[in-house]
Amino acid sequence: MKVIATEIEGVVIIEPTVFGDGRGYFFESYSQREFDAKVRPVRFVQDNESESRYGVLRGLHFQKGANAQSKLVRVVKGRVLDVAADIRKGSPTFGKYISVELSAENKRQLFVPRGFAHGFAVLSEEAVFQYKCDNPYAPETEGAIIWNDPTVAVDWHLPETDIILSEKDKHHPTLEQAEELFDYHTDYYA
CA distance 115 to 167: 24
172 noted as active-site residue: no
Candidates 131, 172, 184, 189; catalytic one:
131
CA distance 169 to 147: 7
61 noted as active-site residue: yes
Candidates 25, 30, 54, 61; catalytic one:
61
**Residue 103 dihedral angles phi and psi, to the nearest 5°:** -150, 165
Q: What is the 3-state secondary structure (H, E, C) of the chain?
A: CEEEECCCCCCEEEECCEEEECCEEEECCCCHHHHHHHCCCCCCCEEEEEEEECCEEEEEEEECHHHCCCEEEEEEECEEEEEEEECEECCCCCCCEEEEEEECCCCCEEEECCCEEEEEEECCCEEEEEEEECCCCCHHHEEECCCCCCCCCCCCCCCHHHCECCCHHHCCCCCCCCCCCEECCCCCCC
Catalytic residues: 61, 131
